[in-house]
Structure 1
Amino acid sequence: MTTIDDNTLPQASVRPKTLPQSGGSRLAALGAFLRAGAVFILLAALVVGFTIAEPAFINIANLMSILQAVSVVAILGAGVTVTLAVGGFDLSIGAVAASSVMAASYAMIVWGFDAYATVPLVLAFGALIGLVNAFLIVRLKVPDLLATLAMMFLLSGLQLIPTAGRSISAGLTLPDGSKATGAYDPAFLLIGRYSILGTLPVSVVLMVAVAVFLFILTERTRIGRLLFATGGNEVATRLAGASTVRLKTLAYVLSGTLASLGGIVIAARVGRGDVSSGGSLLMDSVAAALIGFAVLNLRRPNVLGTVAGAVFVGVLLNGLTMLNAPYYTQDFVKGAVLVGALALTYGLGRSNP
């Protein structure tokens, strides 16, 4: 019998000694850490800086006000994130939210519905819009940008027709000359104005609930993996046996439903159906979703990143407002933050070949 001793083993099988980490490797690891946590590091720096400049910034009431202000943007941004996951894009979310504000107001003030009938009705309206978007995109093969852009224009005009272009409030004069006799249900107004234990706004609770639900759906379930697979390679996903039609439909229905939820929060907060509501929601929610790409250096749509992006912009704008920065600089600041986040994600965050 032939015996094999250690000296006859191939050299490759001998475990090499662990070499100390070089300075270049440490710098690369530090760079990767900074890229992954850049948004959170900048957020912490903003909070510290604004607190030093204006101590009232760190008050719990102001922090809750920031979260309440960004809750709608985060909810809508979560819907955008889901459509991005399947390789799509929903331009109609702002119009869906604005139409939902008008629909909720019309249901209560003109039809006399209470909160328990209005909320399901408006959510169903958003889901229906998402279903129509999915039909145009999946069945009729209309490009997603064109389909949702057309829906945006359609809803922007449709919401004005029932009231002849007027905002909806108690005592509204209808186009036929009659007076609306309904009013906002106090239970409905609690959604936008009530704070649990006097501190935590209901809208913030809804934002957190949406974020947790979608995080579990997209990151911890088979459906979530298939959503991202559809966005990465739709043909391969279909050949693997998944129904990309159903996955895309689910994404757009979720987006429409979340946009309606955002509209409900706005209506409950404002207490009227304002025709100008939702004007900036599209751009703000898209910005939050894109900033989320830089969170943890994932470079892909992710719900927690979207929420972090919304909070980041909210903290920045609130701090600038407290420091009496001119209001007309806000759009520039949001644009600069978005450009920086994208540069960090796709430029500095790119691995060396």
Structure 2
Amino acid sequence: MAELEVKQTTSFDLFRFLYKYGTIILIVLLIIGFSATNPSFLQPSNVITILRSISIVTIIAIGITISLSVGGFDLSVGSVASLSNAVVISMFVWYGQPTFIALAAAVAAALVVGALNSFMIVKVRIPDLLLTLAMMFIIQGVALTYTKGATISENMILSDGSYAEGTISSLFAKFGQVPYIIIIMIVCVVVVHIFLTYTKHGRCLYIIGGNEEAARLSGIAVNKYKILAYLLSAFFASLGGIVLASRVMTAEIQAGGPYLMDAVAAAFIGFAVFGAGKPNAIGTFVGAVLIGILANGLVMMSVPYYAMDIVKGSVLALALAITYYKFK
């Protein structure tokens, strides 16, 4: 009987260790494996490439992390990023606006979406998953209608047959370049980590996510904090779309859509990092690093691009399995 108890304790401790540090161990193993197959994997230039590639994913995933902190889930972030991407480039190319006005317009468009999301969720009481799924398609359609289904770029041909005369400012172009794109990502992670971990407002978000009714009875303004969470989610989605626009210098059709699954995966992987057991900015960043290393390493191994989603989907499924096995 005593031996059985010892075995059970050992097994539980092993699970806890793997739960807390499994993601870090997997990242180390991937680095070792990819480096063994391709020595150039660890070259500084490739490390910078990985960080640059995960910057937009991380910024968008930070928004999802905040919505998860109140027990919600924002699926509209990809479409919001697409909308902001289109608005900011159009402000330059179509209307010849300065950088500040272009950025303000893109963020304002995203905050309108965040306000609509929070109103429908808080006041109308539509489940967040269903509402943001519907909004994902609505905003996607709005973005396509706004751009008329065309890519927005400098010197593009307008509907009247003339050429667009606006240019994208050199200041805006720097946002998507190294090292600025990496710095923006790091600042977002650090600021949100401090906000969620060390401020009263961040703790209130976590309390609401843990037990909304208990939070309400303890005097926390639940509805206000939920509104804040969805506004911040929209803001970071917008920031991701703006950085993407700066990186490619055009507004592609549905540009933010491909980042949704990676952002969701990064946010959920973050639950288990260091045994946090809750959405957190540092864990989200580590999750994005894992996805970035996987994608970069598989490309260097000449794995076909159409097989990438199999790997990413498997990683997300594993993260969800670990999270819900632990907490449900």
Please say if residues 299 and 346 of structure 1, whose CA atoms lie closer than 8 Å, have aligned partners that are also in contact.
no
Query: In the alignment, which of 43, 56, 60 is matched to residue 72 of structure 1?
Result: 56
Please say if residues 265 and 319 of structure 2, whose CA atoms lie closer than 8 Å, have aligned partners that are also in contact.
no
Q: Which amino acid aligns with 1:149?
A: L
Any gaps of 5 or more consecutive residues in structure 1?
Answer: 1-21, 196-200
Is 1:46 the counterpart of 2:30? The answer is yes
Query: In the alignment, which of 302, 311, 332 is matched to residue 310 of structure 2?
Result: 332
Any gaps of 5 or more consecutive residues in structure 2?
Answer: 1-5
Residue 145 of structure 1 corresponds to: 129
CA offset digits 1:91-131 (Å, max 9, x no partner) = 11000001111101100001101223222322222222211
Structural RMSD (CA)? 1.9
Cα distance change, pair 341–147 in 1 and its aligned pair in 2 (3 A): closer
TM-score normalised per structure 2: 0.93
Identity %: 41
Is 1:169 the counterpart of 2:149? The answer is no
TM-score normalised per structure 1: 0.87
Provide the C-alpha distance between the structure 1 equivalents of 2:210 and 2:323, rounded to a whole number of angstroms: 18
Residue 3 of structure 2 corresponds to: none
What secondary structure is seen at the aligned counterpart in 2 of 1:324?
Answer: coil
Provide the C-alpha distance between the structure 2 equivalents of 1:276 and 1:139, rounded to a whole number of angstroms: 29
CA offset digits 1:171-230 (Å, max 9, x no partner) = 22333444321011111111002x3xxxxx211111111111111111111111111111
Offset of 1:287 from its aligned partner?
1.1
CA offset digits 1:230-263 (Å, max 9, x no partner) = 1222122111111111100110000000001000
How many residue pairs were aligned?
324
Query: In the alignment, which of 114, 120, 130 is matched to residue 136 of structure 1?
Result: 120
Provide the C-alpha distance between the structure 2 equivalents of 1:24 and 1:156, rounded to a whole number of angstroms: 51
Q: Which amino acid aligns with 2:316?
A: L
Is 1:262 the counterpart of 2:247? The answer is no
Alignment of 1:160-309 (within 5 A): 160-193=144-177, 195=178, 201-309=179-287
Provide the C-alpha distance between the structure 2 equivalents of 1:211 and 1:50, rounded to a whole number of angstroms: 27
Choose 1 or 2 for highest CA Rg: 1
Residue 15 of structure 1 corresponds to: none
Residue 82 of structure 1 corresponds to: 66
Provide the C-alpha distance between the structure 2 equivalents of 1:221 and 1:279, rounded to a whole number of angstroms: 32
Query: In the alignment, which of 47, 51, 70 is matched to residue 63 of structure 1?
Result: 47
Cα distance change, pair 175–235 in 1 and its aligned pair in 2 (3 A): same
Offset of 1:317 from its aligned partner?
1.0
Is 1:126 the counterpart of 2:110? The answer is yes
